[in-house]
């Protein structure tokens, strides 16, 4: 299996490998240019995880291992990880707390992902054991929904997921 590296040259750790392969792998399928509308079959998001203090929710499901994880990133620097397969959950803290979460929110804004067309970007061909990545962004009571079930998607979405996977890996 190839050892993927990120744009910044760093090797991804455990979680980032899963997400990185989902959004920027070298195999299989590209994305259809038009996304499926959020809330329709095949484009569902974990809305119940969003609270007033939520910055983002990253959901990763599928793949050969049958993963089903939700990461809720909060403005106080905490990350709640939920394993939907087992029902187990844990709270993690990112060093730097609230200030680090604010820097993440600024970095997400800088990607301009909110300007991309909302919805789920689906593969243009059948993909066996593919991963589904869902990203919900929350700001001032408004929600944005993005997803990718293929090897790519809008560049801003890929960049936003990279930022979130790095953040989740910082959580202890």
Task: Dump the DSSP string for 70-133.
Answer: EEEEETTSEEEEEETTT--EEEEE-TTHHHHHHHHHHHHHHHTGGGSPPEEE-BSS--TT-EEE
What value does the mean pLDDT take over residues 59-87? 93
Q: Would you kindly state where each structural domain of the chain is located, as residue ranges?
A: 14-170
Instruction: Say which residue, 17 or 95, is predicted with more confidence.
Output: 95
pLDDT at 125: 76
Q: In Å, how far are 2, 3, 158 from 11, measured between CA atoms?
A: 12, 8, 16
pLDDT at 30: 79
Instruction: Say which residue, 123 or 45, is predicted with more confidence.
Output: 45
**Element at 146 (helix H, strand E):** strand 142-148
pLDDT at 10: 40
pLDDT tier for residue 106 given thresholds of 50, 70 and 90: very high
Joined together, the tokens standing for residue 36 give: 């499926």
Q: Is the pLDDT of residue 142 over 50?
A: yes
Mean pLDDT of the chain: 83
Q: Is the pLDDT of residue 25 over 80?
A: no
CATH for the stretch 14-170? 3.30.1560
pLDDT at 29: 61
How many of the other CB atoms lie within 10 Å of CB of 10?
10
What value does the mean pLDDT take over residues 147-152? 83
């Amino acid at each position: 299996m190839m050892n993927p590296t990120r744009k910044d040259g760093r090797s991804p750790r455990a979680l980032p490998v899963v997400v990185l392969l989902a959004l920027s792998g070298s195999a299989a399928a590209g994305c259809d240019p038009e996304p499926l509308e959020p809330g329709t079959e095949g484009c569902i998001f974990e809305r119940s995880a969003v609270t007033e203090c939520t910055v983002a929710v990253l959901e990763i499901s599928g793949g050969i291992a049958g993963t089903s994880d939700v990461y809720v990133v909060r403005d106080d620097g905490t990350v709640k990880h939920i394993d939907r397969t087992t029902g187990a959950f844990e709270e993690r803290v990112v060093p730097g707390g609230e200030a680090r979460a604010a820097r993440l929110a600024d970095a997400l804004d800088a990607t301009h992902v909110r300007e991309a067309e909302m919805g789920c970007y689906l593969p243009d061909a059948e993909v066996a054991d593919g991963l589904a990545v869902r990203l919900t962004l929350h700001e001032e009571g408004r929600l944005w929904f993005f997803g990718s079930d293929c090897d790519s998607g809008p560049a801003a979405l890929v960049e936003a997921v990279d930022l979130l996977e790095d953040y989740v890996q910082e959580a202890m």
